[in-house]
Structure 1
Amino acid sequence: MKKLAWLIVLLIGLIGLVSCQNTDNHSTPPPSNDGELPPLEETAKVVIAEDGSASGAGFYIAKDKGYYEKYNIEVEFATFGNSDEMLPAVASGEVDVAGGISSASFFNSIAQGIDVRFIADKGHNNEGSSYFSFVVREDLQDEIKDYSDIKGKKIAVSTQNAVDDYIYNEMLKHAGVSPEDVEFVLMSDFGNMMSAMGNQQIDLALQIEPLITQGENQNIHQRFGDTTDFAPEAQIAMVLGSPNFLTERRDVAVRFMAAYLEAVRDYHDVFVKGNDDEEEEIIAIMAKNTALKDEELWKQVGVTGLNPNGYIFEEDVEKQYEFYKENGAIQTELDFDQIIDMSLVEEAIEIIGTYEE
């Protein structure tokens, strides 16, 4: 009997040891029987740096439709004046998730030690209805019909050595026109581009929605081709993640990404696949959370493309970086194998499945 008692004690001890080891393990728990991860045992807060931009659709929809709540995640939106303030907050873990837009200054910040990861798509152009595309002045649309017709024209672009400049140069190459054969007009405010069009101070502009559609409706300009004609995989914005969020809080991060992708799929269903059943609800969420409050206009604009499987155009990110280097705006080499981390997307897809077009 004593021997049996000792065996029972030893067995209990081993069970307790295994239990402790499982508790200390930070790996993601296995999915429940229905293919979904169980909710977190304790509510976890995730801080997102987001300013109401349309490319934050996945964040807003996931919050308003309860996808975060399903996993026992509470989200808090934080705003920053500029990326110089935001990026260090992400790197330090003060902010868990944010949006980043490709630019030389953005890559230089990373090169200088700001440690962030690119973890999902947050903005590209949908084929044939780009949300970030060129427009031509209304009275010039019969004169400037083809890309080659831009020679000698004044073209407004909002930034240099950023994704706008990259798209502009891709368009020039597609047109077979040298940068010396057009006049580059730096105009940082998209609204001012509309005024400059109306005053006939510029001929074309790289414009953004909803101003593209509003300008068309007001007979100020018309779309000039489409960005996907010459830069079909331009990666305009990325979801950024804090390294601490991806490692120390992995169980939260995977659930966060699963909820984000569920929301992006709802968005894609409505705006790309034309699912009328969800249109009213999704448009209402977008109007509530972004600067575009006109729900009818949401049915007209070219919306931000968001990959329902989360992946970014990795080769294009590196191509943009090389463009900035060639311009002398970046002097440091970057290891994109370390910076681009699609592992959260991959884990989330294992849970919610691959989206089929």
Structure 2
Amino acid sequence: MKKPVWLIVLFFGFIALSACQNSENKPSLSLSQDGELPPLEETAKVVIAEDGSASGAGFYIAKDKGYFEKYNIEVEFATFGNSDEMLPAVASGEVDVAGGISSASFFNSIAQGIDVRFIADKGHNNEGSAYFSFVVREDLQNEITDYADIEGKKIAVSTRNAVDDYIFHEMVKHAGVSTDNVEFVLMSDFGNMMSAMGNRQIDLALQIEPLITQGENEKIHQRFGDTTDYAPEAQIAMVLGSPNFLNERRDVAVRFMVAYLEAVRDYNDVFVKNEGDQEEIISIMSNHTALKDKDLWKQVGVTGLNPDGFIFEEDVKKQYEFYKENGAIKGELDLEEIIDMTLVEEAINIIGTYED
């Protein structure tokens, strides 16, 4: 029996649609005969919102080592006073790429209509050398030796309803101590934490590098355990991308991500594997960040950056739920839509996974 023409058309239309959907996650770019990703035919500018933080290592190294230039990408760094100014610029496409620190206010901005995507890792703790970890006052290091010893102590944390607060609660939970039995001291400035330690106003603090190492060298405090003991996958910061960059400028975005990951791998070679050109990478980092002491770069616990780009998605969701439980989230977010790892997946399909 002959099938109606409309049924045949519908059948082949369905096949074509399925083929398009199945190809969405495959690389959209053609490699050269030698397997290399060719540069763009015309120079493309990419604007990055970055304030000189150490977690921007991938951007700085890719720029100074010519990885962006290799793909005919010109980068421009832009600075903003705060995330309230930066996020709308990313959403509008005025800024292509930025960094975001996990906090309730950050998630609230997105819930209120700021359209951005989490596209890569920009900060987590490396096991055993966390760059964002607790310290204990020097004169108390023999008294507070175990996590359970924090009971009754004054603990300084820089922010409520942000990743700092989340890590604090994870540490207290790990210690088996009630939050009612420790004193949470809100202290927004990390430098003031050092002074408060020196004046014996606080007992412990959630401190950040390079102040962790500086305080140890000056015998103000000592490391207290390691954040990875109780929050091994705490996602501290994410690379953000504008929807326009990811969709309308995909050929640029993929090349940008390849260059970024190439740079992060150089960073990991030096600081994690103790390979590669240490002097070159430290020179780049000291040039772009506030830490100018090259010798200190060899001592600090550096920001963890995933050489394959992926973030700890489950931890991002866990933090979001933590803020919601605290009543700090206004509105609802679909994190499955906001977290977009397709760019790093496409980049890895081109350059392969990192060898540990």
State the TM-score, normalized to the length of structure 1. Answer: 0.92
Q: Counterparts of 1:39-78 in structure 2 under 5 Å?
A: 39-78=39-78
Is 1:199 aligned to 2:199, yes or no? yes
Alpha-carbon deviation of 1:333? 2.0
Alpha-carbon deviation of 1:334? 1.0
Alpha-carbon deviation of 1:128? 0.3
- Shifted more, 207-216 versus 329-338: the winner is 329-338
Alpha-carbon deviation of 1:75? 0.1
Which residue in 2 is equivalent to 1:298?
Answer: 297
Which residue in 2 is equivalent to 1:266?
Answer: 266
Q: Counterparts of 1:267-346 in structure 2 under 5 Å?
A: 267-275=267-275, 277-346=276-345
Describe the SS at the equivalent of 1:126. Answer: coil
* Letter paired with 2:291: L
Alpha-carbon deviation of 1:227? 0.1
Q: Counterparts of 1:242-261 in structure 2 under 5 Å?
A: 242-261=242-261
Q: 1:185 to 1:221 in 2, by over 3 A?
A: same
Structure 1 alignment gaps of length 5 or more:
1-26
Q: Give me the whole-angstrom Cα distance separating, in 2, the residues matched to 1:104 and 1:35.
A: 43
Which residue in 1 is equivalent to 2:235?
Answer: 235
Alpha-carbon deviation of 1:356? 1.7
Which residue in 2 is equivalent to 1:6?
Answer: none
Alpha-carbon deviation of 1:36? 2.0
Q: Give me the whole-angstrom Cα distance separating, in 2, the residues matched to 1:219 and 1:303.
A: 20
Alpha-carbon deviation of 1:327? 0.3
CA deviation string 1:117-138 (max 9, x = no partner): 0000000000000000000000
Alpha-carbon deviation of 1:34? 2.4
Q: Is the 8 A contact 1:28 1:254 kept in 2?
A: no
Describe the SS at the equivalent of 1:113. Answer: coil
Q: Give me the whole-angstrom Cα distance separating, in 2, the residues matched to 1:262 and 1:167.
A: 30
Which residue in 2 is equivalent to 1:18?
Answer: none
State the TM-score, normalized to the length of structure 2. Answer: 0.92
Q: Is the 8 A contact 1:35 1:352 kept in 2?
A: no
Q: Give me the whole-angstrom Cα distance separating, in 2, the residues matched to 1:301 and 1:88.
A: 34
Q: Give me the whole-angstrom Cα distance separating, in 2, the residues matched to 1:308 and 1:184.
A: 35
Q: Is the 8 A contact 1:90 1:98 kept in 2?
A: yes
Q: Give me the whole-angstrom Cα distance separating, in 1, the residues matched to 2:355 and 2:341.
A: 19
Q: Counterparts of 1:5-154 in structure 2 under 5 Å?
A: 28-154=28-154
Q: Give me the whole-angstrom Cα distance separating, in 2, the residues matched to 1:240 and 1:150.
A: 36
Alpha-carbon deviation of 1:205? 0.0
Q: Give me the whole-angstrom Cα distance separating, in 2, the residues matched to 1:267 and 1:134.
A: 24
Which residue in 2 is equivalent to 1:181?
Answer: 181
Q: Counterparts of 1:150-161 in structure 2 under 5 Å?
A: 150-161=150-161
Which residue in 2 is equivalent to 1:226?
Answer: 226
Q: Give me the whole-angstrom Cα distance separating, in 2, the residues matched to 1:209 and 1:167.
A: 16
Q: Give me the whole-angstrom Cα distance separating, in 2, the residues matched to 1:168 and 1:322.
A: 15
CA RMSD, 1 decimal: 0.7
Q: Is the 8 A contact 1:102 1:162 kept in 2?
A: yes
Q: Give me the whole-angstrom Cα distance separating, in 2, the residues matched to 1:199 and 1:243.
A: 48
Alpha-carbon deviation of 1:32? 1.1
Q: Give me the whole-angstrom Cα distance separating, in 1, the residues matched to 2:309 and 2:86.
A: 22
Aligned length: 330
Describe the SS at the equivalent of 1:216. Answer: helix
Q: Is the 8 A contact 1:161 1:324 kept in 2?
A: yes
Q: Give me the whole-angstrom Cα distance separating, in 2, the residues matched to 1:237 and 1:29.
A: 29
Q: Give me the whole-angstrom Cα distance separating, in 2, the residues matched to 1:29 and 1:212.
A: 44
Q: Give me the whole-angstrom Cα distance separating, in 1, the residues matched to 2:167 and 2:33.
A: 46
Which residue in 1 is equivalent to 2:170?
Answer: 170
Alpha-carbon deviation of 1:38? 0.5
Structure 2 alignment gaps of length 5 or more:
1-26
CA deviation string 1:20-69 (max 9, x = no partner): xxxxxxx8430112222100000000000000000000000000000000
CA deviation string 1:49-96 (max 9, x = no partner): 000000000000000000000000000000000000000000000000
